[in-house]
C-alpha cells in the first residue's frame, strides 16, 4: 500500500499566500508589533508555517485521523488498559454549554450544578468502592497511587510511625506501582507470585516487617486472577502495622460484585478513563480518584466538595490534609463522562458489565487454549495472559505475532507483560465487544499460530498491509526522527 505519495505532509501542501481563515472586520486601529513589543522579542525571520486553504487543512486532519487507530476503528484488546467503547452520550453531556463553559474561578454560587456533579460522583464512587470518602483531584491512575501513598505517609508520621519506609509490590504489578512508591519516597519491595499467579503467602510473611508502610495490590491482579487469599493477606499486613492499597485502574471485573472496602483495603484509586469510559490513549486527560477509609479521610487533598443542606461548597478545612495535588478541581470533563456512564448503566448495568467482561475473557481463553500455552489455567476475570512459548520453538516470537495481528486490523494485546510470563501476551477484550469480534480475533490468532509452524516468514516479516512496515524499534527509540527536515529528506 503506497500512501506517502497520495497523502502529502502539510508542509508539502503549503503554497505561499494561501490561508484557511477569515478574520472579522477589525474595530480598532492597526498597531505595529514594534510599538507593542520590545525589539528582542520580535522574530527576525518569518515563521515557517504551512500556508494552505481550508479544504487542504480539512484533508490533512482527516487523513491523520484515518491513519490513527482507536476503539472506534477496531478491536483493541490491550491488557491492563481497558480499551472499552466510550459511549457517545458521554460526549453530548460533556459538551453542554453550562458545563463546558464553566470557569474554575467562578464563585461557587454560580456553579452549583457542576459542584453537584462532582459531589454526586464522589458519592457514587464511595458506593462502588466501599470507601468512606473520595477525592476526585488526581489526574491519572499513577497520580492517584502517589496521592494515596502520600496520605499513608502522613498517617504513619502522625502516629509516630514515620520510620515505615517500605511498600510491598507483587512481581506481577503494573509498573506504575513501584514507580509511585519510589516517587513518594518509599522503597519498593517485591513479593513473589506463586505457581497459581497469586501472591505467595509465605513470601509475603518473609518480606513484611516493622518498616512496612503498605502493600499495593491489584485484585484481580494483572494476570487476571482473583487473589482469593485477600483476607489472609489483609490480616498479615494489618497485623504488622501496614496499610492496604488497592489499584483499581481496571474495576470492570468486580463492579457491583465485590468492593475493595469489603476486602479490607484502606485506600483505592480508580481510572475513570478506563473502567468508567473516559476516552484514553493519546495522552489524556485522565482522572484517578482516590477513596479512603474514615481513619484516613482527614488526610485527603483539599478542597473536597461537600453538601450543606441544598448548597454545595468547597471544604478547605481538612485537618491533616496533604494539600492540593491538582490545580482547581481536577479534570472535570472526565467526571461528566464517568457520571453519565454510571447513571446510564445503573447498578444492574454495572453488574452486567462485570459479568460480560469476565465472560468475554474466558471465552477467548477457552478458544485459544489448544493452540497456545496458557500458564495459569483457572478461570480468569477480565483478562488473561497466554504464552507464545510453543510458537517460539518455530522461531516466531510474541512480538512477531503481535505485528502480524496488525494485518488483521486488530490492535495487538499487551506483550511481554507481566514479566513473570515467558513470551507473554495479555489479552483484555472488555465487555463491549460482540461475540463476532471475539471470534474474528481468535480465528486470526489461530491462523497466525499455524503460519508460525508452516510459513514462519509471513509472521516474521509482518505487518504486510499497514502504512509503514516493521520499524527498527531500537533505532526508533534511540534515534527518533521527530522533525520534518524539508521536502526531500533522505529516507534512512
CB nearer to ligand PLP: pick between 282 and 486? 282
Q: Least distance from C-beta 284 to ligand PLP, angstroms?
A: 8
CB nearer to ligand PLP: pick between 140 and 460 = 140
d(CA 343, CA 103): 25
- Least distance to ligand PLP, CB of residue 404, Å: 25
Of 221 and 449, the one with the shorter C-beta distance to ligand PLP is 221
Structural contact between residues 414 and 79, judged by C-beta atoms closer than 8 angstroms: yes
Which residues on adjacent β-strands are paired with residue 64? none
User: What distance in Å separates the CA atoms of residue 173 and residue 188, rounded to the nearest whole number?
Assistant: 11
Cβ closest to ligand PLP, residue 142 vs residue 462: 142
Handedness of CA 232, 236, 238, 244 (dihedral sign): negative
User: What does the binding site for ligand PLP look like in residue numbers (CB under 6 A)?
Assistant: 80-81, 140-142, 174, 176, 218, 222, 247, 249-250, 271, 286, 288
CA distances 445 to 172, 252, 397, 455, Å, are 24, 24, 13, 14
In angstroms, give the least distance from the CB of 336 to ligand PLP: 18
Q: Which is nearer to ligand PLP, 366 or 419 (CB)?
A: 419
Question: Shortest distance, CB of residue 181 to ligand PLP, whole angstroms?
Answer: 12
| Secondary structure (DSSP) of 77-134 | -BTTT------HHHHHHHT-HHHHT--TTS-GGG-HHHHHHHHHHHHHHHHHHT-SEE
CB of 329 to ligand PLP, least distance (A): 18
Judge contact between 153 and 184, C-beta under 8 A.
yes
- Residue 174 or 397: the one with the smaller Cβ distance to ligand PLP is 174
Residue 311: strand pairing partners: 308
- Running DSSP on this structure, what letter comes out for residue 37? S
Q: How far is the CB of 117 from ligand PLP (least distance, A)?
A: 21
Q: Which three cell numbers stand for residue 395?
A: 522461531
Beta carbon of residue 88, minimum distance to ligand PLP (angstroms, whole number): 22
**Secondary structure percentages of the chain, helix, strand, coil, to 5:** 40, 10, 50
Segments in 184-227 forming alpha helices (H): 201-207
Q: Strands 267-270, 212-217: parallel, antiparallel or unpaired by DSSP?
A: unpaired
Please work out, in degrees rounded to the nearest 5, the angle formed at the alpha carbon of residue 208 by the alpha carbons of 205 and 210.
135
Supply the minimum distance, in Å, between the C-beta of residue 176 and ligand PLP: 4
Nearer to ligand PLP, 152 or 408 (CB): 152
- In the complex, the smallest distance separating the C-beta of residue 112 from ligand PLP, rounded to whole angstroms, is 30
**Is the CB of 170 or the CB of 261 nearer to ligand PLP?**
170
Q: Distance (Å, rounded) from C-alpha 251 to C-alpha 171?
A: 20
We find the least distance from the C-beta atom of residue 161 to ligand PLP, in angstroms, to be 26
C-alpha grid cell for residue 276?
Answer: 468508567
State the number of CA atoms in the 13 A half-sphere of 29 facing the CB. 4
Residue 220 Cβ vs ligand PLP, minimum distance, rounded to whole Å: 10
Q: Report the residue number, 98 or 283, with the smaller CB distance to ligand PLP.
A: 283
Q: CA–CA separation, 256 vs 168, rounded Å?
A: 28
C-alpha to C-alpha distance for 247 and 245, rounded to whole angstroms: 7
**To the nearest whole angstrom, how small is the minimum distance from the Cβ of residue 193 to ligand PLP?**
15
Q: From the CB of 249, what's the least distance to ligand PLP, in Å?
A: 3
Minimum CB distance to ligand PLP smaller for 141 or for 429: 141
Q: Which is nearer to ligand PLP, 153 or 174 (CB)?
A: 174
Bridge partner residues of 214 (DSSP): 167, 243
> 224 near 424, Cβ under 8 Å?
no
| Preceding peptide of 303 cis, ω within 30° | yes
Q: Which is nearer to ligand PLP, 263 or 396 (CB)?
A: 263
| E strands, 203-303, in order | 212-217, 243-248, 267-270, 290-292
Strand partners, 248: 270
Cell digits of residue 375: 500458564
Q: Residue 140 or residue 364: which is nearer to ligand PLP going by CB?
A: 140
Residue with CB nearest ligand PLP? 141
- Cα–Cα distances (Å) from 123 to 126, 143, 155, 271, in that order, read 5, 21, 24, 16
Amino acid at each position: 500500500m503506497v500512501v506517502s505519495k497520495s497523502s502529502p505532509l502539510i508542509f508539502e501542501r503549503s503554497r505561499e499566500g494561501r490561508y484557511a481563515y477569515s478574520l472579522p472586520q477589525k474595530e480598532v486601529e492597526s498597531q505595529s508589533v514594534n510599538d507593542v513589543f520590545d525589539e528582542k522579542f520580535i522574530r527576525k525571520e518569518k515563521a515557517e508555517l504551512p500556508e494552505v486553504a481550508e479544504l487542504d487543512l480539512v484533508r490533512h486532519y482527516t487523513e491523520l485521523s484515518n491513519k490513527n487507530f482507536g476503539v472506534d476503528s477496531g478491536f483493541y484488546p490491550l491488557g491492563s488498559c481497558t480499551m472499552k467503547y466510550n459511549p457517545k452520550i458521554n460526549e453530548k453531556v460533556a459538551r453542554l454549554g453550562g458545563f463546558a463553559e464553566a470557569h474554575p474561578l467562578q464563585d461557587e454560587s454560580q456553579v452549583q450544578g457542576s459542584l453537584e456533579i462532582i459531589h454526586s460522583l464522589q458519592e457514587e464512587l464511595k458506593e462502588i468502592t466501599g470507601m468512606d470518602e473520595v477525592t476526585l483531584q488526581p489526574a491519572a491512575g499513577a497520580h492517584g497511587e502517589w496521592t494515596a501513598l502520600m496520605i499513608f505517609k502522613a498517617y504513619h508520621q502522625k502516629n509516630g510511625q514515620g520510620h515505615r519506609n517500605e511498600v510491598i509490590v507483587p512481581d506481577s504489578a503494573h509498573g506504575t506501582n513501584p514507580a509511585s512508591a519510589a516517587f513518594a519516597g518509599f522503597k519498593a519491595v517485591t513479593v513473589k507470585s506463586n505457581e497459581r499467579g497469586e501472591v505467595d503467602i509465605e513470601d509475603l510473611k518473609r518480606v513484611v516487617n516493622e518498616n512496612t508502610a503498605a502493600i499495593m495490590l491489584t485484585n484481580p491482579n494483572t494476570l487476571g486472577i482473583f487473589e482469593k487469599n485477600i483476607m489472609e493477606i489483609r490480616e498479615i499486613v494489618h497485623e504488622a502495622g501496614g496499610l492496604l492499597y488497592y489499584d483499581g485502574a481496571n474495576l470492570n471485573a468486580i463492579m457491583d460484585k465485590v468492593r475493595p472496602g469489603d476486602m479490607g483495603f484502606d485506600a483505592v484509586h480508580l481510572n475513570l478513563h478506563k473502567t468508567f469510559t473516559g476516552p484514553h490513549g493519546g495522552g489524556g486527560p485522565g482522572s484517578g480518584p482516590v477513596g479512603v477509609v474514615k481513619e484516613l479521610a482527614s488526610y485527603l487533598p483539599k478542597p473536597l466538595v461537600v453538601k450543606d443542606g441544598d448548597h454545595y461548597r468547597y471544604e478547605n478545612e481538612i485537618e491533616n490534609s496533604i494539600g492540593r495535588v491538582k490545580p482547581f478541581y481536577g479534570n472535570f470533563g472526565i467526571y461528566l463522562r464517568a457520571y453519565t456512564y454510571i447513571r446510564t448503566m445503573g447498578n444492574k448495568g454495572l453488574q452486567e458489565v462485570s459479568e460480560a467482561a469476565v465472560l468475554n475473557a474466558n471465552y477467548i481463553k477457552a478458544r485459544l487454549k489448544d493452540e497456545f500455552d496458557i500458564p495459569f489455567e483457572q478461570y480468569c476475570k477480565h483478562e488473561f495472559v497466554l504464552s507464545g512459548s510453543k510458537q517460539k520453538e518455530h522461531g516466531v516470537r510474541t512480538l512477531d505475532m503481535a505485528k502480524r495481528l496488525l494485518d488483521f486490523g486488530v490492535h495487538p494485546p499487551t506483550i511481554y507483560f507481566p514479566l513473570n510470563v515467558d513470551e507473554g501476551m495479555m489479552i483484555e477484550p472488555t465487555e463491549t465487544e460482540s461475540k463476532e469480534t471475539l471470534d474474528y480475533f481468535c480465528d486470526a490468532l489461530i491462523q497466525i499460530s499455524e503460519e508460525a509452524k508452516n510459513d514462519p516468514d509471513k509472521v516474521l516479516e509482518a505487518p504486510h498491509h499497514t502504512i509503514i512496515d516493521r520499524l527498527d524499534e531500537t533505532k526508533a527509540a534511540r534515534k527518533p526522527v521527530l522533525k520534518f527536515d524539508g521536502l526531500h529528506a533522505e529516507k534512512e
